[in-house]
Structure 1
Amino acid sequence: MLHQLARAPERRETLHRRAAHYFQTQGDFETAIFHWNEAGARRDAARLIVALADDLFDARRFETLTFWFEQLSAHEFAEFPTLWLYWGKICEARHEAESALDYYERAAEGCTALGDLIGLSAALNHQAHILDWRNGDHVEAERLQRQALSYVGAEHHRQRAALLANLARNQLSAGNTAAAQTLYREALALYENDRQGELTTLLNPGSWLYHSMGDFLQAVAALHRAEQLANELNDARLVEVYNNLAVNLYYLGRYQQAGDYADKALALARAQGDAHQEAFALMNRANALEMTCGASYADLHQQYMNALRIEQRLDNRRFIIATLVFMMILTRHNGEMAEAATRGQYARNLANERGLRWLCCFVSVQLGAAQIWLDADAARATLDDALQLARECGDMYQTMASHFWLASLYHSANDARHLEQLRECLRLAVAQNYDYFFRGEMQAAIPLLVAAIEHDIWSAYVTPLLAKMGARAVDSLEPLLDHARAEVRQRAQRALEQMGVTRAARPPRSRAQTSPALTLRAFGNFTVWRGDECIQERAWGRRKCKRLLKYLVLAPHHTLSKDAAVELLSADAEPHAANANFYRTLYNLRRVLEPLAPESGSNYLALQGGLVSLVMENVAVIDVDEFTRRIEAGRAQMRQRNFVQARQEFSSAVELYVDDVATDDLFDDWV
């Protein structure tokens, strides 16, 4: 043909038509499209493009399709308006929402002009998806989807299933999980022998529906079926399956598996050039690494920031919000409550702007958890709102988490209402198998679970949870062996035995003995005895907790102004963050000294009138005080010329001075 073209260029159109027919009969459709276009037969090219568009779109050959579209004229688009539909789908896949909406509107106009109800239905469906997913306009999205559904009869089961699935997504966004579940099941039933449609529906709304209900096991089951289908079909959405598996396995406490799927998703996303899935994988990977201590705080923060920047560039609001929430969890676990709360307020505003009720609930739970240490009243209001939203959305996991943080809030304030919240939290945890939640929030969980043992709230369920938490749980349980009630001592003893720790239940102490006196040694390594029990190093947790007690021991009259303590603990932090850090450190110190709090009250530390101090009637000995007293006593004897007595006092002081003060904190300038 090329040879004939060179000899007779006037036959160009005829020869290209002949070539197009030949390649089309041979099944080489792409070459045929080239020759149809070269022959100027764009109508024939357009007809063939429509036939190929599904397969090329699924293969993500967007550049090829776009190149062909650009060669067509308005006449072809008027005759084949589904071309506008595919161009819109390409724009949507590239996160160009406004361009996609424009193309979908053109498709709808073209299909209306031709009386193509199926095409019109598809165009309205895609418009609705963007309005719901990107713009948060759930009402208009639902109206378009129901209009689209009215154009599709029962004989078009695939199209009807797609519409039902999209309508389910819309209801899910609005927090109507019961309606979403009904629509999802109806859509899945229509896709009975359609593997491609089944895959789409299992991915979304299927896995996200179960995730939003807190049924992570069911979500994982749906996703494993989706994984099988994606592999059988060689479907590019396998990366989406991997990411969805990673986030659900994270919530099931299977952090290693979650990390493995995140790594697979990251490799696939980068190979496919899918920016959103890459960001999703980075977020999932950081989640898993945080829970397995697999990376430093700085590295994890950077991973989240990388994911956040990608989603912000794509203007993907839902995943911007999700990434901000996981960053909140990271910063909260690192003790940076003010930063966590700031991110939470921003994320909640974004969710409210788009009417994303379930996401607003998700954000509010974590925001309330951070606010506990900043503003108790704000935390209570936030968590009450979260609890109401979680119930309305049918999310058992977030309902349970809301009760947990409300229990933690009341517990930290010595408010007996913590027992009511704890009871409901554990009831849901038992019913839904949410054991893994407590391991993820161990620091806050241990005091509450010990309170559950004390008050016999689901003790049989709580004991194995504490057994998995190791030495920190042992240290918190042991004081229950001294409890006034025999049944509490027995429950504590049984729990410790399950943890492999043998301790005999001790007879109850008299009221005068309920708060054993502290002995504080500041010379050498700073050491504290509660009665005859030395508080082990592992019990202190963060270094600032022990440091605050050290400051009080060495301060004049064992009292510091709150402002001075805030400055000493967090000199470089913002005032809001420094204040939050002080209250958190004071709370943790009380927990170390008084594991039975709030039942025993605050026996060793007082915060009153802007001053924080040791309660000296519950302190037996402070070695630096005793050292000073003996030195002064020796000097007094010297002034009275009682040299023998003076020598005895000074010798006693020298015996106390075993080393420099606080040798475990040599680089603290204040000490």
Structure 2
Amino acid sequence: MQPKRRLAVLRTKFIPPLQRSSMIYRPKLMKQLKQIEECPLTLIHTGPGYGKSSALSSFLDTSDKLSCWYSLSKQDENFFHFIVHVVHAVREKFPHFGSELIEYLISGEVEGWEEELDYICIEFCNELLQLKKPFVCVLDDIHITERSELVKDWLQLLIESAPANVHIVLAGRVRPTWDVITRRLLNGQLLELTETDFIFSNEEIDVLLSDVFNIDCTPEELIEIEKATEGWAIALQMLGQQWKEHGEVQAVLQDGLETTDELFRFLTMEAFSRQPEEIKKFLLETSLFEEFNEKLCQTVFEAVHAGNYITHLIQQNLFVVEIGKSQYRYHALFRDFLLRQLSKNPILQDNLLQRVACYYKAAGDYEKSLEVYMRAGDYREASALLVHEGIRLLHNGKMEGLMVTLDSIPEIMKDEYWLLWYLEGEMNRYYSKFEQAMTCYRKLEELAEEKQDAEGLSLSMEGRAQIYLDTIQPVKAQPYLQKAINYMERTNTSVERKVRLYSLMSENLLNLGEVKEVESWLVKIQAVHPEYKNIELESRYLLRTGQFHTAKELLQEAKLYEKDHKLSSSHREGDLLLSLLNSLMGLTEHAKKQAEAAIVGGVQRRSPFVEAVGWARMGHAVQLLDDYDPSLAIQCYETSLKLMSDLKMSRGKSEAYMGLCLLYGKQGEYDKALRIGKVALEEPERVKDRWLSGLVQLALALVTFKQGDLIEAEKRLNGCEKTFRSCGESFGETVTLYWLSSLYLRQENSSAFKKTITRCLTLIQKHNSQFFFSNKTLFGPTDIQCIPPLLLEAKTHQVEAYLVEPLLAELGFAQLASHPGYTIRVQTLGEFQVWLGEDKLDEKGWKRDKARELFQLFITRANQFIAKSEICHLLWPGQNEEDASRDLKVALNAMNKAIEPHRKARQEAFFITREDQMYGLNKEASIDIDAHRFIYYIESGLEERSRKRAKEKLVKGLELYRGEYLPSRRFDDWCIELREQLFVLYLRGVERVAQISVAEEKFDEAIRWCEQILTEDSCWEEAYRLLMYCYYCKQNRTQALRIYERCQQQLQDELGVAPLETTREMWKMIKEATEKIYLSHL
């Protein structure tokens, strides 16, 4: 069970700016904002200081519509933070809103947000729909989303899918460049307000100065003020305040202030300079905080009158914004000004920074404390803080900030606080910068050697050993680990450090295949810390000893460790281990999903080594998929190899080479497979990694077995068995024994077969490894239907019944006397082809055309039995019963011989069964029909709610449609219905993919899909509509109109009808838009 995510919800972000006495009612602006209630989407974008947030807040106060407010901040770059807060913003008005969605979001089950965006948006919109009442949703400071692709993508989905009762308002400093906004604009569904709409008019300036500041202006003064401020709200506020102080406008509007920015700076300086000294001091002090309150000011700056000062600032309208109960912040422009003022007094600034840093340090916010110390240039305090808190910050994933900090600290300070070299080495190691990390550890070693510091020497040895552990070079890691432990034992070290080094030693011995020694070190760990449990180490131990089920359970717990520590554990990362486990166990989709998660994690954490291993694991998963494209698996392995080459990590290439060896062996490219397999073996042999050596040797053995070189295959398999037994790897031994059993069965070596299959089945039962016989696994047979004959032979050879019969029953063959040992694969879409296992059935194999036609009839009626009389009527119409019955018998015999060429005389057919006078396909037989897979993928794709997953399934299905169903039987009545069903399903699938491509703004791709539809059916009207829309969005309106004319002509010629109303409406919209553009250029 995944741990729940935790997130504190900051409710002050749901409060609109509070209305202030310095604001006036602006009827014209309010009238414009009133349109929000009628428009699905409102976009407001201005620079700072134009009063958009305040105006929106004022509008919502007067509106009778329910609304929610959410002010975005930097934390919303994280999608989880953003979406949870958005849901809670709605819950402020509707407490029960999104309860299930919140539970889903925090459940911890979501591993990749990208795949879940559609689902989250659909659930969110469905919840909004349940509200029924008109509802305004304001997202303020939307420009922050520019830093998060996930948040931007989700918002675009929301805009597209939001129900009619919801009116979305996006307010920020820049205009989002999203195509969905363009579409809303073209459809007349967008209300857009800019700086122009928020500029104060001459009349509004007069009202503001009169009502708020009690200043009466002459018309000439108003013109001068309007010219100077350009109606900028924040400048007008400052000017009004200053005018009250000076008494005349000329004292405020000095010559030489040519821009409103200059005016604002001048007015701000004037306002600041006229404050009492204690207020100035308070302003400068509090500018160091993004948010502040009375208690904070009293604690940090000993400002006993902080409450009075805050009240004074509010009364003076000095850009203090109340963001919650007794919680305040300065307007961003004003705070920038204050910080610039503070920087002019370095002594005061340093003193204040020290206070703030100490405050954060005392409060346990070491990250902010470190940031402030660095800003103050106090490298000594920053270094001292890093010595105590650096490792913890590193383990909490604060890597980027730490790296910047370490880069800024002078080397002389790192030499004094030598632990910083270790910290920098760790940083580089996590980023897979192994050479830089090694330099840092060596520097640490030099300094520790000079000071005869055993702890420093131990850490430097540990760091170097960790590099070799990360890159699985156990022989190189071993001496450094031993030295690290020796130095550590000279110090009065903590239990945690002892446990860590003992665990690393255990892991390294595991990589060497020294299982007995691993167990002795695990005993040492328990002696030091009886409650200690290293899930990661234990799960790897279980993986390398073949205890897969227990390893998987532990690895689910290991994912909790990773989430808490947020660091890359190289090849040992939970997702990577789970992906490999699932490939070995034949759980392909899980293996693929976890490889994807590892790749994404590697990229996000900037760990190219993890990413590279992830691509190798993805290659394993892809080559196990039923409809895999070999080139995709090859691409995965080659990506992994390139990344390893970039890292200069020859050791890391072995697994990718092993995967390619297996893949090329399956494809029959034996020489290439053997050549690559030998390359894969070099590194694990060199570094003495017996477990990986065994797996690569097994891959080479399988290639020689498939090649037919049974003598060499037996030799290699016996070597594998010896290797796996020596390092205690039960699963590898099980697989090896299976292939030896298959080899001896092929050689008709009964005694050897009985011996190896008995040992194989014993291990399967002992370790609960039945999945090897039921799933398609990485080292198992390509077609698992070859397993039942092997088990039946075991039964014949009197292998213990308790070993054989449960497996036969689990596979559904308890009553079976014989089995052909392969799957029949049938291609019905396009050219008709049949494969018996990996062997293609050629034309000669059928002997008679009626035998093939009979098989095609059974395939068409795959889910039902057909009466003998009906078969005769369908295949021999007009022929008398006796002759038709005779011809059926001949055709049936020829067909069974074709699809079961090795069936013994008088042995019952397996694939075709008979019940009285009815015939049909055996439901227990493995017959893979492309038309069935096509139907599954298209239908599930059409039902899929996630666009991404829908497209994947649909494209997978469409790739199977190589042409019409059984084209050689085009005129036979018995397959017409299915042919038409498949054809319509094909068109619907292409149409849906085209629609998704349009939604993704991939217009060229959508055009190709639409033309593909029209090639098959020139009257498919939705294809014309999509084409019109695509060309319209590509700014090619002329072509869009031509598409309509083509549609109109084709429908008239073929069906004698006019286009539907929806098509005509689209034509009208495009035509009107074209005319408007033409007129605007006249």
| Structure 1 segment 208-287 matched on structure 2, within 5 A | 208-231=540-563, 233=564, 235-236=566-567, 240-287=573-620
Q: Does 1:394 align with 2:690?
A: no
Asked whether the equivalents of residues 368 and 383 of structure 1 are also in contact (C-alpha less than 8 Å), the reply is yes
Distance 2:420 2:651 in 1: 29
After superposition, the Cα gap between the structure-2 partners of 1:266 and 1:134, relative to the gap in structure 1 and judged at 3 Å, is closer
After superposition, the Cα gap between the structure-2 partners of 1:340 and 1:72, relative to the gap in structure 1 and judged at 3 Å, is same
Identity, in percent, stands at 20
Distance 1:338 1:456 in 2: 39
Q: Secondary structure at the match of 1:26?
A: helix
Structure 2 residue identity aligned to 1:452: A
| Structure 1 segment 488-499 matched on structure 2, within 5 A | none
Q: How far did residue 368 of structure 1 move?
A: 0.6
Q: What is the match of residue 217 of structure 2?
A: none
Q: Secondary structure at the match of 1:101?
A: helix
Q: What is the match of residue 159 of structure 1?
A: 497
Q: How far did residue 86 of structure 1 move?
A: 1.3
Q: Which moved more, 1:163-172 or 1:100-109?
A: 100-109
Q: Secondary structure at the match of 2:626?
A: coil
Q: What is the match of residue 660 of structure 2?
A: 327
Distance 1:341 1:267 in 2: 32
Q: Deviations over 1:522-576 (max 9, x none)?
A: xxxxxxxxxxxxxxx98822343x44985999xxxxxxxxxxxxxxxxxxxxxxx
Q: Which moved more, 1:279-288 or 1:367-376?
A: 279-288
Q: How far did residue 29 of structure 1 move?
A: 4.3
Distance 2:620 2:748 in 1: 33
Distance 1:324 1:549 in 2: 39
Q: Deviations over 1:388-427 (max 9, x none)?
A: 1111111111112222222223333333433332222222
Q: What is the match of residue 447 of structure 2?
A: 110
After superposition, the Cα gap between the structure-2 partners of 1:15 and 1:316, relative to the gap in structure 1 and judged at 3 Å, is same
After superposition, the Cα gap between the structure-2 partners of 1:255 and 1:423, relative to the gap in structure 1 and judged at 3 Å, is same
Q: How far did residue 34 of structure 1 move?
A: 5.1
Distance 1:285 1:219 in 2: 20
Q: How far did residue 181 of structure 1 move?
A: 3.0
Q: What is the match of residue 521 of structure 2?
A: 183
Alignment partner for residue 687 of structure 2, among 331, 334, 354?
Answer: 354
Distance 2:847 2:369 in 1: 85
Q: What is the match of residue 403 of structure 2?
A: 66
After superposition, the Cα gap between the structure-2 partners of 1:464 and 1:256, relative to the gap in structure 1 and judged at 3 Å, is farther
Q: How far did residue 373 of structure 1 move?
A: 3.5
Asked whether the equivalents of residues 368 and 405 of structure 1 are also in contact (C-alpha less than 8 Å), the reply is no
Q: Secondary structure at the match of 1:372?
A: helix
| Structure 1 segment 278-317 matched on structure 2, within 5 A | 278-317=611-650
Q: How far did residue 277 of structure 1 move?
A: 3.3
Q: What is the match of residue 478 of structure 2?
A: 142
Asked whether the equivalents of residues 445 and 457 of structure 2 are also in contact (C-alpha less than 8 Å), the reply is yes
Asked whether the equivalents of residues 245 and 258 of structure 1 are also in contact (C-alpha less than 8 Å), the reply is yes
After superposition, the Cα gap between the structure-2 partners of 1:81 and 1:355, relative to the gap in structure 1 and judged at 3 Å, is same
Structure 2 residue identity aligned to 1:364: Q
Asked whether the equivalents of residues 337 and 370 of structure 1 are also in contact (C-alpha less than 8 Å), the reply is yes
* Structure label with greater radius of gyration: 2
Asked whether the equivalents of residues 365 and 383 of structure 1 are also in contact (C-alpha less than 8 Å), the reply is yes
Q: Secondary structure at the match of 1:477?
A: coil
Q: What is the match of residue 746 of structure 2?
A: 412
| Structure 1 segment 26-175 matched on structure 2, within 5 A | 26-27=360-361, 29-30=366-367, 32-33=369-370, 36-37=373-374, 41-134=378-471, 136=473, 138=475, 141-153=477-489, 156-175=494-513
Q: How far did residue 246 of structure 1 move?
A: 2.7
Distance 1:191 1:590 in 2: 67
Structure 2 residue identity aligned to 1:217: H
Distance 1:331 1:39 in 2: 61
Structure 2 residue identity aligned to 1:163: L
Distance 2:748 2:504 in 1: 48
Q: What is the match of residue 674 of structure 2?
A: 341
Distance 1:319 1:135 in 2: 8
Q: Which moved more, 1:356-365 or 1:39-48?
A: 39-48
Distance 2:462 2:342 in 1: 50
Asked whether the equivalents of residues 20 and 31 of structure 1 are also in contact (C-alpha less than 8 Å), the reply is no
Distance 1:542 1:111 in 2: 64
Q: What is the match of residue 538 of structure 2?
A: 206
Q: Which runs of 5+ in 2 are unaligned?
A: 1-283, 288-336, 822-832, 849-896, 906-967, 970-1082
After superposition, the Cα gap between the structure-2 partners of 1:224 and 1:192, relative to the gap in structure 1 and judged at 3 Å, is farther
| Structure 1 segment 648-663 matched on structure 2, within 5 A | none
Which has the higher relative contact order, 1 or 2, with Cα contacts under 8 A spaced 6 or more apart?
1
Q: What is the match of residue 462 of structure 1?
A: 804
After superposition, the Cα gap between the structure-2 partners of 1:438 and 1:344, relative to the gap in structure 1 and judged at 3 Å, is farther
Q: What is the match of residue 540 of structure 1?
A: 836
Structure 1 residue identity aligned to 2:807: L
Q: Secondary structure at the match of 2:566?
A: coil
Structure 2 residue identity aligned to 1:426: L
TM-score normalised by the chain length of structure 1: 0.65
Distance 1:427 1:590 in 2: 37
Q: What is the match of residue 438 of structure 1?
A: 773
Q: How far did residue 347 of structure 1 move?
A: 0.6
Q: How far did residue 94 of structure 1 move?
A: 1.9
Q: Does 1:363 align with 2:705?
A: no
TM-score normalised by the chain length of structure 2: 0.42
Q: Deviations over 1:571-616 (max 9, x none)?
A: xxxxxxxxxxxxxxxxxx999644689xxxxxxxxxxxxxxxxxxx
Q: How far did residue 237 of structure 1 move?
A: 5.3
Q: Deviations over 1:499-521 (max 9, x none)?
A: xxxxxxxxxxxxxxxxxxxxxxx
Distance 1:341 1:188 in 2: 45
Q: Secondary structure at the match of 1:151?
A: helix
Q: Deviations over 1:98-118 (max 9, x none)?
A: 222221121122233334323
Q: What is the match of residue 453 of structure 1?
A: 795
Structure 2 residue identity aligned to 1:66: M
Asked whether the equivalents of residues 324 and 343 of structure 1 are also in contact (C-alpha less than 8 Å), the reply is yes
Distance 1:157 1:438 in 2: 45
Alignment partner for residue 711 of structure 2, among 377, 380, 387?
Answer: 377
Distance 1:445 1:112 in 2: 62
Q: Which moved more, 1:304-313 or 1:166-175?
A: 304-313
**Which structure shows the higher helix fraction?**
1
Asked whether the equivalents of residues 280 and 319 of structure 1 are also in contact (C-alpha less than 8 Å), the reply is yes
CA RMSD of aligned residues (A): 3.9
After superposing on structure 2, the runs of 4+ consecutive aligned residues of structure 1 that deviate more than 6 Å are 2-11, 470-473
Distance 1:318 1:473 in 2: 50
After superposition, the Cα gap between the structure-2 partners of 1:421 and 1:317, relative to the gap in structure 1 and judged at 3 Å, is farther
Structure 1 residue identity aligned to 2:400: E
Asked whether the equivalents of residues 579 and 617 of structure 2 are also in contact (C-alpha less than 8 Å), the reply is yes
Distance 2:606 2:622 in 1: 24
Q: Deviations over 1:253-275 (max 9, x none)?
A: 43344344444444444444443
Asked whether the equivalents of residues 255 and 292 of structure 1 are also in contact (C-alpha less than 8 Å), the reply is yes
Asked whether the equivalents of residues 432 and 607 of structure 2 are also in contact (C-alpha less than 8 Å), the reply is no
Distance 1:59 1:421 in 2: 50
Q: Which runs of 5+ in 1 are unaligned?
A: 480-536, 554-588, 598-662, 665-671
